[in-house]
Amino acid sequence: MTAGRYRRSARVLASLGICLLAVACATIPSSSRPQIISETPPAAEPTTGSDLRYDAIVPQPGERPEDIVRDFLRVGGSYERDHARARAYLTAVGNKTWADDSRATVLEDLPYLDVQDAGSTVQMRAQQRGRVEADGSYVPGRAPSPYTFRLVKEAGEWRINNPPPGVLIEAGTFAAAFRPYNVYFLDSTRTQVVPDVRWFAAAREALPSRLVDAIEEGPSAWLAGAVESDLEDSTLQINVEQERDRVKVYLTARVDSVDTLSDGGFAQLVWTLNQLGVGGVEVYIDGHEVWPRSAPGRSLQRLSDWRGFDPEGLPASTPGYFVKNGAVWTTEDKPLAGPAGRPGYGAVAVAVSTDGASLAVVRRGSQGARTLFVGTAARLRATITGRTLTAPTWASEVDEVWTVRNERHVVLVPTSGVATGVVAPLDGLGPVRALRLSRDGSRVALVAGSAGRERLYVGVVIRINGSVRIERLKQLDVGEVGVSDASWSDALNLVALVRAGQQDSALYTVGIDGASTSRVVSRSKLPGPPAAVAAASTLPLLTVAAGTLWSTLAVDESWSPVSSKGGAHSAPAYPG
């Protein structure tokens, strides 16, 4: 890629109105039902040419130092021409020294400004909502963010002489300026795509090239090592060309042996660029059009050609599973075929692989111990036993199931072979109550903590030379309440079961990126508080209330009973 095609700008993301992962935001009260948290305003469509949103914000004759600084912050959302609008508030020295493509900091709206030294100093006292690292990943968290602006007069007008490194931007401006896009990588088997969220304020014509560049640069720091890429041996040669019904991606091979892309490489490009509504993608390497080895001659690649790389793509006919009176049932209102579906089996939790071929069941023993059985519905073998075992969870495309034994030890159990431990940074978290793998197998969610004070964490799964580790755990803030369980609705979102008071509970949608809007799920028509959760992006949400299984198609719609037959229902699950 040529250096002059466009300037890489810092990637930042809106956090106006966002409670997730921010200290001192609105939380779920401990004495009443949770309330829906206001959503982030939709980000503005990226613009081309002049950005009319900022046309009224220009330096005025005789403008006061305080207004100069405040307007400099307000136009931080305009990335046109290397922040030309913000640079209008800088001196010549400030323009030369401003590193506007380094870390960005999102501030609370209207920070306090104290003008000193007859206008030559403006002391800002601000609260940071989060920061964006150089790789575009967002690190949430509140912290004081003071800065002392030095101003001098140029041509009789006040201008900032020492702009801060990176971009300072107020949350409200930020929410209106940026949009999220997924940059897609591959899971450990290189057969499924894994999204990595990035935020851009680029003009629409620049977005295709920006997104391809982001693939080439690799995953964000948090996801690095947990995903793969089949585009490591290629670089973008020129800007992506846009036509009415397609885009053309011109790559240069870094090694002479590259004559086309792998299927994974095509999937990464198509899934990433499809978000722009491009219709299709054509790929060229060193000027020659290439196509997949699996489909010779098919030059135009459409998303429909690469749906098989979607780990969330469970068919609409996929049943859910649950436990009724110790037996495993399906949402088709019939017991599972095989021994686990027989009355009195003693099942307490169930999990099914995403392809539906493998089954895992936690069974209660005569002395209260738990044993994990793994295999097929027709033939299950006992694997590990413990005082406690969390509900099992499958890694998609990897023939293994995970659980936590005795609230401390993460264990990986293959469908055939010996169970092995998974290294995890659990010190100081307290007892582990639940663990769930994302369906692409790259991320993990776990619930840990003392009773009533459990917290929700997410981390990444690192596989190196046959060893498996959980790393980079970070806490998701769903309020000052305990978390009972969580289920992945897709690779970037969870549905958490949280407590709200001694007798109340709620289901709460949680994004893992630190910037997504979070909501409380409606309880309309439920006969009582929800007591369990199972989610999947293409299927109804499941819960148990008053001992019966219920489903809903959307977080703001009413619930309906699933099973018409009696019995005590528990432990709902979808494949994964």
**Is residue 225 over pLDDT 90?**
yes
Mean pLDDT of 546-553: 96
What's the confidence (pLDDT) of residue 36? Answer: 28
Within a domain: residue 37?
no
- Those residues with Cβ within 8 angstroms of residue 96's Cβ, 6 or more apart along the chain or in another chain: none
- CA–CA dist 485, 500 (Å, integer): 14
| DSSP letter, residue 392 | P
Return d(Cα 478, Cα 257) in angstroms, integer. Answer: 50
Q: What is the pLDDT of residue 137?
A: 76
Is residue 566 pLDDT above 60, yes or no? yes
Query: Is residue 250 in a domain?
Result: yes
* Dihedral-angle region of residue 297 (phi above 0 means left; psi in -120 to 50 means alpha; beta otherwise): left
pLDDT digits (tens, 9 = 90+) for 110-133: 999 999 999 999 999 999 988 877
Mean pLDDT for the stretch of residues 154-168: 95
What is the percentage of the chain residues whose pLDDT exceeds 70?
A: 89
What DSSP letter does each residue of 144-169 carry, written as one string?
Answer: E--EEEEEEEETTEEEESSPPSSEEE
Q: Is residue 315 part of a domain?
A: no
Measured from the Cβ of residue 452, the count of other Cβ atoms closer than 10 Å reads 10
* Per-residue 3-state assignment (H helix, E strand, C coil) for 345-364: CCEEEEEECCCCCCEEEEEE
The pLDDT of residue 51: 59
Dihedral angle computed from the Cα positions of residues 331, 334, 340 and 346, in that order, rounded to the nearest 10 degrees:
80
* CATH code, 134: 3.10.450
Query: Which helix (DSSP H) or strand (DSSP E) does residue 71 occupy?
Result: helix 65-74
Residue 268 has pLDDT above 90, yes or no: yes
**Could you tell me if 352 and 397 lie in one domain?**
yes
> Which helix (H) or strand (E) segment is 25 a member of?
none
| Residue at which a domain ends, from 177, 212, 234 | 177
| Same domain, residue pair 325 and 304 | no
Residue 15 lies in a domain: no
Beta-bridge partner residues of 168: 105
Number of other residues whose CB lies within 10 A of the CB of residue 322: 26
572 with 552: CB under 8 angstroms? Answer: no
**Statement to judge: residues 328 and 375 lie in one domain:** yes
| Averaged pLDDT, 377-390 | 96
Among 309, 341, 364, identify where a domain stops.
309
Total residues belonging to the chain: 576
Question: Is residue 82 located within the same domain as residue 211?
Answer: no
Mind listing the pLDDT tens digit for each residue in 411-439?
999 998 899 999 999 999 999 999 999 99
Rounded to the nearest 5°, which phi and psi values hold at 498? Answer: -120, 155
Helix/strand/coil percent split, the chain, to 5: 15, 35, 50
Name the residue with higher pLDDT: 363 or 129: 363
- Which of 275, 309, 343 is at the close of a domain? 309
More confident residue, 202 or 156: 156
- Domain with 485 in it: 321-573
* Mean pLDDT on 26-33: 30
In terms of domains, do 233 and 281 share one?
yes
Kindly indicate the confidence band of residue 558, based on its pLDDT and cuts at 50, 70 and 90: very high
Q: How confident is the model at residue 254 (pLDDT cuts 50, 70, 90)?
A: confident
Task: Tell me the C-alpha distance between 190 and 128, whole Å.
Answer: 38
At 76, the pLDDT band (50, 70, 90 cuts) reads: confident
Averaged pLDDT for residues 498-506: 82
Is there a single domain that holds both residue 405 and residue 463? Answer: yes
Q: What digits encode the pLDDT tens for the residues 365-376?
A: 988 899 999 999
- Answer yes or no: do 217 and 331 share one domain: no
For residues 242 and 262, state if they share a domain.
yes
Helix (H) or strand (E) holding 369: none
Split at pLDDT 50, 70, 90, the class of 8 is very low
Q: Check pLDDT > 60 for residue 153.
A: yes
| Residue scoring higher pLDDT (281 or 452) | 281
User: What was the pLDDT predicted at 206?
Assistant: 87
On whether the CB atoms of residues 523 and 530 are closer than 8 A, the answer is yes
Same domain assignment for residues 470 and 521: yes
Looking up tokens 């401390």, which residue turns up?
A: 408
How many whole angstroms separate alpha carbon 545 and alpha carbon 560? 11
162 lies in the same domain as 222: no
Residues of the chain with pLDDT > 90: what percent? 69
- At position 169, the amino acid (one-letter code) is I
Least confident of 24-28, 202-206, 336-340: 24-28
In a domain, residue 485? The reply is yes
**pLDDT of res. 502:** 67
Q: Cβ contacts of residue 402 below 8 Å, gap of 6+? A: 392, 393, 394, 395, 410, 411, 412, 413, 422, 435, 437
Residue 14: pLDDT over 50: no
Q: In angstroms, rounded to a whole number, what is the distance separating the alpha carbons of residues 533 and 418?
A: 30
Instruction: Decide if 38 is inside a domain.
Output: no
Residue 340 lies in a domain: yes
pLDDT of residue 530: 96
Residue 517 pLDDT level (bands cut at 50, 70, 90) = low
Number of domains in the chain: 3
Check whether residue 425 and residue 547 sit in a common domain: yes
Whether residues 358 and 470 fall in one domain: yes
Look at the alpha carbons of 233, 235, 241, 242 in this order and tell me if their dihedral is positive or negative: positive
Q: Which regions of 96-239 does DSSP assign to beta strands (E)?
A: 104-107, 112-116, 121-125, 127-132, 138-144, 147-154, 157-160, 167-170, 179-186, 193-200, 234-236
Q: Does residue 49 lie within any of the structural domains?
A: no
User: With bands split at pLDDT 50, 70 and 90, how would you rate the model's confidence at 25?
Assistant: very low
pLDDT at 258: 67
Question: How much is the mean pLDDT over the chain?
Answer: 87
Question: Which of 100-109, 406-415, 504-513 is the least confident region?
Answer: 100-109
- Please tell me the pTM assigned to this model: 0.85
Q: Would you say 448 and 428 are in contact if contact means Cβ atoms under 8 Å apart?
A: no
Task: Identify the CATH number of the domain in which residue 555 sits.
Answer: 2.120.10.30
pLDDT one-digit tens code per residue, 282-315: 999 999 999 999 888 888 999 999 999 999 989 9
